[in-house]
Structure 1
Amino acid sequence: MVGDQDAIEAVLNRLRRAQGQLGGVISMIEQGRDCKDVVTQLAAVSRALDRAGFKIVATGLRDCVTGEASGADKPMTEAELEKLFLALA
């Protein structure tokens, strides 16, 4: 991922938080915790991952479109860009 250091650090923080939350969900399941609590925490993990993905797209969109981030010779096509967005939907 290419971008400003603050954006990269924000994404990494979100991913680390999601990693910790996922570990918590696994522990909750192993402990036989209430389904409602497990699902609530799992939803929080999902939101954290979504936010990290959206941050990556928002931060690197210009580079992705121009092809600079991937080192590609040509910019992404509209179809490729649409596929990238839909991957997060």
Structure 2
Amino acid sequence: MSLNKTQDLDDVVKHIQTLSPDLKQEVFDFIDFLRMYRMPDAANSDSKELSEKIPKKRRQAGSLKGEIIFADDFDEPLEDFKDYI
């Protein structure tokens, strides 16, 4: 079954109209995401603003090694729970 573009658009609009405001916002955010990554030539100021929020560089595992130190008794039971143990 093949639908023309007008029918597709009408169906999308009908579905979006049934959503709560929160979900409508998610749909709009997703559309911006798709436009930014799938259609870079169609980028506009809204897409640029969204792209500035997305980190450009991937995080590297282990980059904070040695920066976080746990107490030697970290795994020991807490005094607060002594009555329950």
TM-score normalized by the length of structure 1: 0.29
- Greater C-alpha Rg: 2
Larger helix fraction of residues: 1
